[in-house]
Structure 1
Amino acid sequence: MFTATSSPAPLSPERIAAARARHGSAVDQYLRHLQLGDPTADALVELFETLPRGQGMAMVVRAIDHGIEAVEDPPAPLLALFRELDHVPFWVDWRRMRFGSRKILRSGLLTGFAFACYALPHSYLASANKPLAMTGALLDHTAHRYAQTSRFVIETFMPDGLRRQSDGFKIAVLVRLMHARTRRRLLQSGEWDVEAWGLPLNQAHMALNTVYFSFHVLRGLQKLGVRFSRAEVEGVLLTWRYVGHLFGIDPELVYTSEEEALRLIEIASSVECDPDATSRRLCQAMFDAGPEYLGIENPWLARRFKSLTYRISRHLLGDSLADGLGYPPQRHRLLCSALAVLVRLLEWAPFLVPPAVSRYTGVGFWLEASDYDLAPLVGDRPPY
């Protein structure tokens, strides 16, 4: 975990040596995964560059919608990808996954706070943030990009949203290929230092993101007063374990329990995951975009909402990391403690929720906040 006196620099020899002394060979396994991409998707993207523009993604979309058998003479890399995707692991339990999905969606804006104020700031730490910095992703049209992310969130957690014919499955496949495309472009740019940073969007960082978007979202919601049963916790973790499978993450890194998720975070934090200038820029862009994302047009209300999100995030992250991310110094404990009490009260007595607040609760919030245009993933003029 980050502290104000964290040193030395991320991925430096001194930092790695100290991590090995604490965690042993697990550190070397983590470092090895920093050098691994997604061989299956990478091979497909490489092939697509040799095809007429748009032909590659047209085959992918057809295979998603109608099955790989609907693609005439599919190339070997496409067959390999859908051989992975069409295999549903033994441990997938749709009934258990639905337990967690209901609570995540029902929590509405609170889930949004857990994502934006707790999960995403962790995903912006060095050195996992470098692809975002070098591509400009999330720094331009930030509110629109979060609406796209919201679409994936709602489809992931919709009941059976990751089944073969569901939109969550489709988006997961397209995101996986987008990652492979971004990885290839960064490596071809001549600006990416593989030796110093590992591969862009590597296995280790992808595995970390599955932890942030499940385990950290759960923890954030719990800190905000939302209560989860054991079955609900297991359902959320299982959902994102399957997302990890769809993303092509090495099963060795995909957690199977809260304890394994914590261990991955501890090992990653021992060698990297510190705030830097890019982390601060990404967080500022995110909080600046919050009012636009929610359609808050009144300038005074927009400022108040932005202040609220900073306070909630500082409360969830702790003062040390919040300071490292450049957050304004603000009091937060009394406000967030009162919020947690209010959340528990309204969860126990939902009929007390004021009508003006109800639009920010339940699935309706996510339906309104999402972007339903898949063109950025498929492409109006797909590059492949």
Structure 2
Amino acid sequence: MKKRIVSVFLCAAMAVTLMAGCGAPAAETGGNEDGGSSTAASEGIPKDEIKVGFVHISDPSDMGYTYNQDLGTQEMQEKLGLSDDQIINKYNVAEDASCDTALRELVDAGCNIIFATSFGFEDYVVEVAREYPDVQFCHATGYQAADAGLDNFHNYFASIYEGRYLAGIAAGMKTETNKLGYVAAYPFAEVISGYTAFYLGAKSVNPDVTMEIMYTNSWNDPTVESQVAKALIDRGCDVISQHSDSTAPATTAEDNGVWQVGYNNDMIEAAPNASLISPRIDWGIYVTEAVQAMIDGEEIPTDWCKGLADGAVYLSPLNENIAAEGTQEAIDEAAEKIKSGELHVFAGPLKGVSPEGEEYEVPEGEYYHEQEEASAPSWLYIVDGCTVVE
């Protein structure tokens, strides 16, 4: 899911588009929920003949992002009854020309549909998709499909900010110093949206809480993640959360006697005395839908995003041994309100400043329509109570 710096500006442009939504009536559903425009239906492919390819930036041993993506692949394989030789994984592919090579190798291997799971893959996916119109390409966390003009190119993501808000409740109820720490990969909208939601969840149950954020400038670097977590702990943060791929923040929290909220994976096994809970995405829902559409000759949505109400976003089990009393009840109550539409995570009054200094404000009674018009997150404003530290 690596994003280059240009994505901040692209997301800022997307945010400007969504600003109008904050002052206008909210759409009942975002365009992505019904799939928006879709590919033309085909005759379908017999289930025992279809081949599915994946390009990943890491491998399941990261116990984070790629691990969780791979669980989605396994879910799809089990549900559809595909054999092992019908699935080809390309692991540890960098966001450079090696991605182009991996995509072409999958095409040459006969893959009918290919999933590329890191943001920085998108330009390569678009290029290869143009050359092979008979192969379907699905790209996670990107934004270009809606304007690419390609029937065989699609974006997909999930509203993980909803899960992060709920996980923030566990952190806000647990902290004793009222100071949270966040190990963040990059200053991109996807990351900022996530940690803002986490903080707002914590603040909903603890109005005195503040949060400090430090960037690792990497998606998966256990050494740096541990160093950043320790630096935040040394600054007085007693609950550490993360948008990074390894369990290093969890084990560092455990080693230093504080608590942790994970991401992508249940991290209680890695840190039984520290890890409270983790927000996760069930990637298997989309992957299964897309492959089934190929089998049935049906359309694949151009842009797909689902969330808590659809089961695409969920939480790992709460660590009842260390969570504050009443945490599960508070999470359950908020979850039901999110599902019903009573609770909007980015509800006003809310104001923040982008990394470039752009100010943004959501008035009271309105809310920011995160991921309703497009699957890619676009909230990139650092709100009051959150501080980025070096």
Q: Same fold (TM over 0.5)?
A: no
TM range (shorter): under 0.3
Q: Which has the higher helix share?
A: 1
Q: Which has the higher strand share?
A: 2
TM-score under structure 1 length normalisation = 0.24
Of structures 1 and 2, the one with the larger relative CO (CA 8 A, separation 6+) is 1
TM-score under structure 2 length normalisation = 0.24
